[in-house]
Structures are given as structure tokens and as C-alpha cells.
């Protein structure tokens, strides 16, 4: 990556929160940003136009899955992933590191890399640091992730320490690809739930001067207080002028809290997967559209939402579609949840600019507590010690 990649536009005077902008060859990305997951080169059930209408600026695609099908060389011959999927905006690709965790029964970790058994046909494949970067460069990623090992939770200290050292050795090889392609390269801080190992990992990666840094290995079963503690430990160590990406964490509450701690980027399957399961996000908490209470409810999902779904369809209709298993409901639900997340991030950015993030956070929880699944604000209270 050459030139300026990350600009900080505004810093909060009362927290580590900031408003910034990532500058890629496919356009700017305003931060804090939530990245939608398009695992196989598509966000399930919606089109490019649906995404653009919702204000999406960047997508995440999965290196491992695209390597298996249709193959990175195929995509390269067809002009790269942007052209292949007709997405003219920014793309971040993971390295395949998460599959080291999620496909634990189908892989073998070695010093050189990871041997995977394909979940499609059982064939065996090797992805090491060089292979991970080569695949991502072939895809034409704007942001490429270094290969890492994501350990499970709980995990013994000795194993996590060995894993950190392995991730560090892989990161050195990935860092060598900085400047070879046209995309940025991020290192991933690991270390489980051990603060000293998080520090060990972060300090080693900082020496490699990546374009940005990710916090990996969270949202793997730990409690929220521990998660917040690990975010805080790592964030305080990382260079302040580089973007910070919290991987795989994505409840609305998680986003609000992590922005306070100085996180700039997020991704998660939550808005799209929940949409397909009939769970919709609103400014007053989540609702389950299959609930019988919506059988004759003529209101939109969220009366304060201006998405295509809320402008045109009622809760009653969406419930009917869901119960009848009509495919249209997946698109309509997904459009709404995507829009909710994009609007939430814009509201957060505006609150930072106007120095009212504290009041925004308070109002956010008050609104959530008025929803059908009110929780009494225990999430916010439980994290106060980490802020």
C-alpha cells in the first residue's frame, strides 16, 4: 500500500472513539464501519443495488471459500473479485485463519501453515502465509489479512503462547507482501484471554508496521466483560494512527461499546443470518417476526426506518412470508437489517463528531429496554468497569 491509507477526521475528547476514513483504490470508507460478510462473493439474498441503497461502502469476502470455489485463479482471469461480483466499492478479504478455528475437525496446523480437508469434496489443500497472500492478491483485495491461528475458548496458557508465536512467524511472512500488490495488509493480534499474551502478540506485530491491526480470537464463547477487557488491553498498545479492526464481533451493543474503546472496523454475519432466521433489529430492540403477535400488525418493522422494506411492507406481511417460507422474505428482512446496521454506524459517527457519544449510548440502551425483548440494561452496566 502506498500513500495515505487512513485519515482521522475527528477524535472524541472523552473516549478513544474517533471518526476516520479508509482510502482505497475503490473509494473511501467512513469509520467506524460495519462490514457485511459476503463469504462466497455475495451477501446472501440481496443485490449490489440493495447494498448501495443501504449505504454499504465495503464488504468482506472469504479467502478460503473462494479458493475452493470457483478458485482464485478463475477469478483473477475474469478481472478480479470486484469485477467478478460486480462490486465497485472496497473489499476486505480474510486470510483463511478463521477456518483454522471453525473447521477444526477438517484441518491440521503445522509450522508452515494449515492443511485443510475440503468441506465440499474431502480433497486436501495447504494454505500457508505465502499462499494466503497470493490468493488475496489474485482476488484483488483492497485490504488483505495476515494468516493467523484463532484458538478456541477456553484454552490452556501454554497452547495459546505457542499459537501466538506461530501467528507471529506467519505474520512476518505476510508483512513481506506489503507494497507488492495494490491493497493494504493488516496483522491480527491473538493471545486468547491472557493479557500478557495479547501484549506479546501486539508488540511483535507493531514491529512489522502493518497498514492496520485487527483484534482476533474474540466472540468465541467468552463473556462480554472479558471481551471488553481484551479489547481495551490491545487497543491501548496499538499505534493510534492506524485503523483497528475487531473481527467477528457484531451485536449492536458490541459495536457501541467497542467504538468507545477506539475500534474503527467490525464484521459479523449477525444482521444477515438473523434476517434469514426471522429476527429483525429495531431502534427498540430485536423482534422475532414469526411471533403470533404480528399476525395482523400493519406497522412497518421499525417506524423510524426509511429502508425499502419499512416503506413498503408491514410486519403482518413479513410474518406471512416467513411462515409460508416464501423466498422474498429473506431479501426483505435482510434489506432491513443491513439498513439498521448502516444507520447505527452513521448515528455513532455523528454522535462522535458532535461530542455526544455518552448521551447517545445512554439513549441507545433506554430505547433497547423498551423493546419486546427488553433486558434491563444489564449489558451496559456490566461493562462500566472497562470504559
SS3 160: helix
Separation between Cα atoms, residue 84 and residue 41, nearest integer Å? 8
Neighbour-count burial of 257, counting CB atoms closer than 10 A to its CB (0-12 exposed, 13-18 middle, 19+ buried): buried
Beta bridge partners of 364: none
Residues facing residue 184 across a β-bridge:
143
**Contact between 33 and 265 (Cβ < 8 Å):** yes
Cell of 225: 466483560
Of 243, 306, 247, the residue nearest 99 (C-alpha): 247
* The three cell numbers locating residue 26: 475503490
Beta-carbon count within 10 A of 29 CB: 24
CB 193 within 8 A of CB 219: no
CA separation for the pair 80, 62 (Å, rounded): 14
By annotation, the residues acting in catalysis are 94, 267
**Using N-to-C axis directions, what is the helix angle for 315-323 and 328-353, rounded to 10°?**
130
Q: State whether residue 282 is helix, strand or coil.
A: strand
Contact 220, 101 (CB under 8 A): yes
Q: What is the DSSP letter of 380?
A: H
What whole-number distance in Å separates Cα of residue 270 and Cα of residue 274? Answer: 6
3-class state of residue 374 by DSSP:
coil
Contact 314, 297 (CB under 8 A): yes
Give Cα 241 to chain centroid, integer Å: 20
Rounded CA gap, 263 and 246, in Å?
A: 7
Determine the Cα–Cα distance for residues 231 and 221; give it in Å rounded to an integer.
Answer: 15
Amino acid at each position: 500500500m502506498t500513500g495515505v491509507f487512513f485519515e482521522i477526521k475527528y477524535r472524541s475528547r472523552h473516549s478513544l472513539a474517533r471518526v476516520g476514513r479508509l482510502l482505497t483504490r475503490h473509494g473511501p470508507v467512513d469509520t467506524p464501519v460495519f462490514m457485511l460478510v459476503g463469504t462466497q462473493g455475495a451477501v446472501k439474498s440481496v443485490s449490489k443495488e440493495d447494498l448501495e441503497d443501504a449505504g454499504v461502502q465495503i464488504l468482506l469476502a472469504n479467502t478460503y471459500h473462494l479458493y475452493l470455489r470457483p478458485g482464485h485463479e478463475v477469478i483473477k482471469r475474469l478481472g478480479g473479485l470486484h469485477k467478478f461480483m460486480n462490486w465497485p466499492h472496497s473489499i476486505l478479504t480474510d486470510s483463511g485463519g478463521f477456518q483454522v478455528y471453525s473447521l477444526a475437525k477438517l484441518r491440521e496446523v503445522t509450522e508452515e501453515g494449515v492443511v485443510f480437508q475440503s468441506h465440499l469434496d474431502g480433497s486436501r489443500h495447504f494454505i500457508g502465509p505465502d499462499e494466503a497472500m497470493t490468493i488475496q492478491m489474485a482476488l484483488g483485495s483492497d485490504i488483505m489479512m495476515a494468516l493467523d491461528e484463532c484458538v478456541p475458548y477456553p484454552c490452556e496458557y501454554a497452547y495459546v503462547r505457542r499459537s501466538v508465536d506461530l501467528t507471529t512467524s506467519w505474520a512476518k511472512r505476510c508483512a513481506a507482501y506489503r507494497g507488492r500488490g495494490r491493497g493494504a495488509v493488516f496483522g491480527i493480534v491473538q493471545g486468547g484471554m491472557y493479557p500478557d499474551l495479547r501484549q506479546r502478540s501486539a508488540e511483535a506485530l507493531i514491529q512489522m508496521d502493518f497498514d492496520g491491526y485487527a483484534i482476533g480470537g474474540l466472540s468465541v464463547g467468552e463473556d462480554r466483560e472479558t471481551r471488553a477487557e481484551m479489547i481495551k488491553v490491545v487497543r491501548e498498545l496499538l499505534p493510534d494512527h492506524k485503523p483497528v479492526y475487531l473481527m467477528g464481533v457484531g451485536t449492536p451493543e458490541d459495536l457501541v461499546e467497542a467504538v468507545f474503546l477506539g475500534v474503527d472496523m467490525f464484521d459479523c454475519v449477525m444482521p444477515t443470518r438473523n434476517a434469514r432466521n426471522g429476527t429483525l433489529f429495531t431502534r427498540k430492540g430485536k423482534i422475532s417476526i414469526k411471533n403470533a403477535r404480528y399476525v395482523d400488525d400493519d406497522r412497518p418493522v421499525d417506524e423510524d426506518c426509511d429502508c425499502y422494506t419499512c416503506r413498503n411492507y408491514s410486519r403482518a406481511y413479513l410474518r406471512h412470508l416467513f411462515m409460508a417460507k416464501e423466498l422474498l422474505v429473506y431479501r426483505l428482512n435482510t434489506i432491513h437489517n443491513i439498513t439498521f446496521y448502516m444507520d447505527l454506524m452513521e448515528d455513532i459517527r455523528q454522535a462522535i463528531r458532535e461530542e455526544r457519544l455518552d448521551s447517545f449510548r445512554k439513549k441507545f440502551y433506554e430505547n433497547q429496554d423498551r423493546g419486546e425483548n427488553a433486558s434491563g440494561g444489564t449489558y451496559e452496566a456490566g461493562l462500566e468497569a472497562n470504559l
